[in-house]
């Protein structure tokens, strides 16, 4: 039997914690079946915004190893630990700046730095609006270094019904980028399915 694929889910302090919750819910239900081993880290403000926007206790909700934001002893702070992919969801403009400048001053930015230096998959689900020139330049820098920037921008062409389906127009594409099979959204087949507003 092959070893599980180890992945990092990092939650920073941008609005959009429900996106992270949808990804972690999916992994709680499917990780074993899909041969995945998720590890989780919250920044201080990631926990604060999660508490406000989601409200659950992640330690109770998820069985994954979870690390403190300053815990440089976490396995994924070294490239030798063999983590294949990392997603920062949601990702603050501040986290993008730390990653873009290589300031590995906390576990999230160190782990992201490791992903880039090891040429592994790094997905940043950035949430800020509007963007300043500094934000845009930092997103160019991380893209040039190999990261994938996916703005937390929902789409409507799959005719999502309700907030969870709307969130999943983002999280399905995030899971796609991480190489994780999922049926979290109705896929484009060439046919329009929205038919305008019903009321
Ligand atoms: C309620 C709340 C919502 C926030 N939303 C955003 C946001 O959408 N995008 C962003 O870049 N920062 C946002 N911030 C600011 C970040 O939390 C702040 O810059 C923090 O220092 C980021 O730290 P971190 O990157 O370690 O999580 C928000 C802060 C609060 C308290």
Domains of the chain, each with CATH number or no CATH? 5-154 (3.40.50.1950)
Q: How far apart are CA 75 and CA 80, in angstroms?
A: 9
Q: Which two tokens stand for residue 68?
A: 């403190």
Whether residue 55 is predicted with pLDDT greater than 80 in this model: the reply is: yes
Name the residue of 9, 10, 12, 14 to mutate for ligand 1: max ligand atoms within 8 A of Cβ: 14
Whether residue 1 is predicted with pLDDT greater than 70 in this model: the reply is: no
Instruction: Look at residue 76 and give its three-state secondary structure.
Output: helix
Q: How far apart are CA 197 and CA 199, in angstroms?
A: 6
pLDDT at residue 118, rounded to an integer: 97
Is any ligand 1 atom within 6 A of the Cβ of residue 49? yes
Quickly state the pLDDT bin for 139 (edges 50, 70, 90): very high
| Burial class of residue 145, CB neighbours in 10 A (0-12, 13-18, 19+) | middle
């Amino acid at each position: 039997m092959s070893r599980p694929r180890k992945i990092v889910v990092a939650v920073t302090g941008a609005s959009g914690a429900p996106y992270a919750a949808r990804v972690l819910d999916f992994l709680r239900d499917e990780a074993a079946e899909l041969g995945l081993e998720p590890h989780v880290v919250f920044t201080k403000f990631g926990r604060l915004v999660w508490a406000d926007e989601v409200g659950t206790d992640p330690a109770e909700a998820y069985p994954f190893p979870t690390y403190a934001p300053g815990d440089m002893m976490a396995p994924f702070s070294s490239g030798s630990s063999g983590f294949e992919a990392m997603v920062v969801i949601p990702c603050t403009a501040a986290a993008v700046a730390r990653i873009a400048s290589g300031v590995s001053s906390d576990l999230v930015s160190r782990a992201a730095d490791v992903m880039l230096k090891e040429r592994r998959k790094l997905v940043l689900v950035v949430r800020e609006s509007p963007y300043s020139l500094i934000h845009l330049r930092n997103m160019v820098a991380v893209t040039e270094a190999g990261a994938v920037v996916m703005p937390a921008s929902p789409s409507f062409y799959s005719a999502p019904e309700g907030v969870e389906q709307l969130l999943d127009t983002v999280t399905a594409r995030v899971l796609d980028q991480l190489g994780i099979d999922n049926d979290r959204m109705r896929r484009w087949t060439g046919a329009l399915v929205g038919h305008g507003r019903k009321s």
